[in-house]
Structure 1
Amino acid sequence: MLLKPKLLNYLALLAILFGIIIRCVQYLSNRSLWGDEASIALNIVDRSYLELLHPLDYNQAAPPGFLWIEKLAVQLFGNNEYALRLFPLIAGIISLFALYELAKKTVSVIAIPIALILFASLKEPLYYATEVKQYSSDVMVALLICLLLISLQNKILGTSKIILIGGLGIVALWLSHPAIFVLAGIEIANLILTPALRRKEILINRLSLYLIWMIGLIFLYFITLTNIAKNQNLHNAWLPEYPQSIFDFIWLIHSFRRFFEQPLGFQIMDEVAIVVFIIGSIVLLRKKKQIFLILMSQLLVTLVAAYLHKYPFRSRLILFLTPFFILIIAEGTAFLFSHFTNAQKVKRATGLIIAILLIFPPVIQSSIYFFRPETRHEIRPILEYIKTNQKPDDAIFLAGGSPDQFQYYAAKYGYSKSMYYILPYDDFFNPETFSEQTWEEIKRTTPQLQNKQRVWFVVSGLRRARKVLVKPSLDRLGQKLDYFSKPESLTYLYQLK
């Protein structure tokens, strides 16, 4: 072996430490909530625990357990970004340790630090560990379920264990929507891997466990999931992510190809990652068929749900599958790194180059976050600037960006709805769709703008191609008095004609 097991273990622990630090750096950067985060935050802040069981506003959907934890964090630590992102951060850190434990049970020794380095540094798992959404906790729940169930294969469970594991399964379902795919996938894999002579005995023993899970799922379905299914806007948004028919293999190939870019986050070397994943799959199929089936079982169940149009197979909604893919990719990388080391020089160089191409880009990209953490739609400093520099009679006009993001921060800075106006689309700056007459009509029909001589025009999340259109369009309305910008957000103050 090229590296000693003790050194490999130190590398794995170092990768965990790196993952924790970079997640904390991203968390402490305290970026503004962007549109989707603000939408879920408005529900969390404005509703009671019981009301969070009702259909959410702003076309949002989240498991009730996640919403309740978020609500508790806001009550304990205040309505701020740190409180709202605390649970996703904790889930992201727990996931690092959970993956470490799962890797020790599933892949070769040399693959363990590789898996942890990738999981610690890949963009999507890293980013969602500090976003006010349930995707980080989805990953945590999937890993913890896998750790729990993978050790139960071939075991007869006593009544106390059935009750305990049944209760934990219900907690998982209420914390994570895709937890059902992990529970079902791993248990199906366990039954398949059980010797035929014991399969009936194991199945009879587990029926009461499955019944507990089913009762919890049915209860959850009628309380919250049925309302999500009735949301037509969500349905329309998810529709393109479903296959057209059971024979739609083009969709399957395209979805598999896209998975390595999002949600895995191999933005540069996704083709290399696909090749290494295939190599890792072959290695596990030859040496550890049982492990490969367990790691891929959740994917198979999720794909069945997608083909039945019950769960969209799209980027962040399937983030929970990423650790299992990473383990297989790490096994493929370990094979290239260790097997070719003892081979001819050309093969040795090839294996080393492929391993470097796979590991180094995400490590370098994530290391940049130490100095420049990722930001999205930085509207908070924009409103802080306006609050400091505005005059009492100034109006605020959101002319592009997320209404929910603006509404969340407007309330935090003491702006009532009578003090601002939202035009939630960026066609305001398109010369083909906007004119002085359009503006006069907006002013005439908008109480917040009537008799106002100074207006702060706020834009957040405007596409870069449209940004150049902002000032020329506003110059037609009056004279520019002030300007302030932050990443993906800006404001202009104009004295109207």
Structure 2
Amino acid sequence: MTPARRLLRPADIALVAVLAGVVLRLWHYTQDASLWLDEAMIAINVRESGFGELTGELMYNQSAPLAWLWLVRITRVLFGDGERALRLVPLLLGIAGLIVAWLIARRWLGPAGAVTLVGLYAISPSLIRYSAELKQYSADATLVLMLAGIALWALERSATATTRRWLPAALFWLAALVSSWLSMSAILATPGFALVLVLAIWRRDGFLAALRAAAWGFVWLASFAVHWFAGLAATTGEPHLKPFWTERGALPPEHPNVGQLLEWAAARPEALAIEPLHVPAGFVSVLFYLALLAGLLLALRRRPAAGWLLAAPLISALIYGAVRAVPMGSRLALWLAPVMLTLVAIAADAAFRAAASPFPRAAAWFRPAVAGEPQAAEGTRGRLPALAGGLAALVMVTLAGLVVAPQVAHAGRPVTETLTTDDRGGVEWISQRKREGDLVLVTISSAPAIVWYAKPRVLRPGHYVRASSAADCDPGKLDAAVAGYRRLLVYQGIRTEPKTPAALLAQLQRLGTITEEIDLGESHAWVVTLNPQPSAPGQENCMTLVTLY
């Protein structure tokens, strides 16, 4: 075998997908989109808090792993407050995820499975988006997949080692320890991975070997305790999030009965297909989950421990969601996406291997490089297996086309088309029109944008407003607040309350004449010349004022 052939494997064809994924992530990163609400709140904490202060309670009820916050703080100190500087850490972690997917694919998958895994990972709209966003979700996806790969490796190495059989498990715990400071999802995934790893060692090597493997977990537990008391305890448990995620179905109702819990669990596959997987609903999502289930069954049949390792994050997430500890939906479920894609890739790999089994040369090319791969179907020959394998391969190709086409179309769109809030442009527009004596009025959800993008003392909002229910409406309060002013500068950024935009516009038209307006997608800004005597307020479209200055 030539040195080049020893260095390269057929599965390395997936490097093309790695390159495509890097290009897509860099493309979205260089779009330099405005920070949206959650990003701005993180950015304010990083700008206005030192390294020590980031260990305490964060402003705006934000929460993030401490080491991740410190890394972002370092990039801000080194490169400034620009969006690209702040998003550099998520970008690098997102690109690292591509490399982790490729390393897993080349070790345990053949060419078909490798291209499926890395290709789907490369073009996933959610994995691309959060690689160019100032949130920790790219770290979640990357580090959970990395822990899965290290746990699979630890199973193999501890089975073949003749000395220091404890070392692979120790290295897993070390990786889990480091990951826990960068990703809260890595903390969530670690117990499931560790349980499968320790039980597999127990079954193979006995109780004492399993006990030694589990003992290293106390180091991880001690590290987690330090992290918890140093930062996480003060930044988790925000009271508004559980109602928010319950309303969106990511959490079951409070105190659910068995029927409600089963109904919630049954809705999770469809919800995850929409976000974060971006798999078209209906027939395509059914095919996707059939492929995922096939991959899981294949893994369980060939290497049960490896199959359970890959199932562990899904089972853990379902348990966390059922007890209302962690939402199982949207961006907070992004850590599940890489493992789900891995299971689909296992099914694709087995399907193409079975289809190629009657042809020795093709079968040799489709075979993974490492013997004892966790996903492989048993090699068989004959007409019936060949027909079944060919049909399965055809289904996988069809599924790939149906899934990949919309994801490629979505992945290539500029980030400004998918994130429609332009707080940077809106705040700049308002700042240019600010005159002495103007009253600045912004919606409550736009407050972080004003704090982040406005120059000091140029914009100082007098009041923050939000739509009010009839029960707490005070129609005259807004009139009293604007009395004595001639002009209003009003900004509405991201819409967190559906009623606010219409209510705000109705109030502005009642109070005066809109002389200038800019539409920035979801963001709007107005200049309003106030009437000396505005029309009488009413209960309809009432606004609640939150006075902060």
**What is the TM-score normalised by the length of structure 1?**
0.85
Distance 1:424 1:202 in 2: 62
Q: Is the 8 A contact 1:229 1:235 kept in 2?
A: no
Aligned AA (1:485): D
Q: Is the 8 A contact 2:198 2:213 kept in 1?
A: no
CA offsets 1:389-414 (integer angstroms, 9 cap, x no match): 4433333221464322332223xx23
Aligned to 1:65: 67
Aligned to 1:357: 402
What does 1:159-174 correspond to in 2, within 5 Å? 166-174=173-181
Distance 2:176 2:40 in 1: 30
Greater shift, 129-138 or 449-458, is seen at: 449-458
Aligned to 1:249: 262
Aligned to 1:191: 198
Report the CA distance shift for 1:396/1:182 in structure 2 as closer, same or farther (over 3 A): same
CA offsets 1:322-358 (integer angstroms, 9 cap, x no match): 1110011223345556657964998776553333112
Report the CA distance shift for 1:313/1:160 in structure 2 as closer, same or farther (over 3 A): same
Aligned to 2:494: 461
Aligned to 1:26: 28
Aligned to 2:278: 265
Aligned to 2:363: none
Distance 1:404 1:300 in 2: 37
Report the CA distance shift for 1:215/1:76 in structure 2 as closer, same or farther (over 3 A): same
Distance 2:173 2:154 in 1: 13
Report the CA distance shift for 1:146/1:350 in structure 2 as closer, same or farther (over 3 A): closer
Distance 1:270 1:458 in 2: 40
Q: Is the 8 A contact 1:91 1:136 kept in 2?
A: yes
Which SS does the other structure have where 1:300 is aligned?
Answer: helix
Aligned to 2:49: 47
Q: Is the 8 A contact 2:96 2:142 kept in 1?
A: yes
Distance 1:22 1:460 in 2: 27
Distance 2:131 2:285 in 1: 21
Shift of 1:378: 0.6
Aligned AA (1:425): R
Aligned to 1:179: 186
Of the three residues 335, 343, 365, the one matched with 1:320 is 335
Aligned to 2:461: 420
Aligned to 1:382: 426
Q: Is the 8 A contact 2:317 2:328 kept in 1?
A: yes
Distance 1:255 1:488 in 2: 29
Which SS does the other structure have where 1:232 is aligned?
Answer: coil
Aligned AA (2:111): V
Distance 1:158 1:286 in 2: 25
Aligned AA (1:217): F
Report the CA distance shift for 1:275/1:174 in structure 2 as closer, same or farther (over 3 A): same
What does 1:256-295 correspond to in 2, within 5 Å? 256-268=269-281, 269-295=284-310
Distance 1:107 1:470 in 2: 56
Please tell me whether residue 452 in structure 1 is matched to residue 485 in structure 2. yes
Distance 1:76 1:35 in 2: 24
CA offsets 1:40-60 (integer angstroms, 9 cap, x no match): 222222112111111222121
Of the three residues 492, 503, 510, the one matched with 1:476 is 510
Distance 1:180 1:335 in 2: 32
Shift of 1:367: 2.1
Shift of 1:163: 7.2
Distance 1:267 1:44 in 2: 37
Distance 1:164 1:284 in 2: 23
Shift of 1:246: 8.9
Aligned to 1:91: 93
Report the CA distance shift for 1:38/1:157 in structure 2 as closer, same or farther (over 3 A): farther
Please tell me whether residue 391 in structure 1 is matched to residue 448 in structure 2. no
Greater shift, 236-245 or 70-79, is seen at: 236-245
Which SS does the other structure have where 1:55 is aligned?
Answer: coil
Structure 2: stretches of 5+ with no match in the other structure: 1-5, 357-385, 532-549
Report the CA distance shift for 1:152/1:281 in structure 2 as closer, same or farther (over 3 A): closer
Aligned to 2:383: none
Aligned to 2:412: 367
Aligned length: 482
Q: Is the 8 A contact 2:434 2:458 kept in 1?
A: no
Greater shift, 90-99 or 76-85, is seen at: 76-85
Aligned to 1:203: 210
Greater shift, 51-60 or 302-311, is seen at: 302-311
Greater shift, 318-327 or 374-383, is seen at: 374-383
Distance 1:348 1:310 in 2: 39
Aligned AA (1:367): G
CA offsets 1:229-268 (integer angstroms, 9 cap, x no match): 5543345445664454695332222223322222222245
Greater shift, 126-135 or 296-305, is seen at: 296-305
Distance 2:21 2:498 in 1: 31
Report the CA distance shift for 1:272/1:395 in structure 2 as closer, same or farther (over 3 A): farther
Which SS does the other structure have where 1:152 is aligned?
Answer: helix
Distance 1:177 1:334 in 2: 31
Which SS does the other structure have where 2:89 is aligned?
Answer: helix
Identity %: 21
Structure 1: stretches of 5+ with no match in the other structure: none
Q: Is the 8 A contact 1:455 1:494 kept in 2?
A: yes
Of the three residues 394, 397, 402, the one matched with 2:446 is 402
**What is the TM-score normalised by the length of structure 2?**
0.78
CA offsets 1:383-440 (integer angstroms, 9 cap, x no match): 2222234433333221464322332223xx23466x323434246xx9x9999x94x6
Of the three residues 296, 317, 320, the one matched with 1:305 is 320
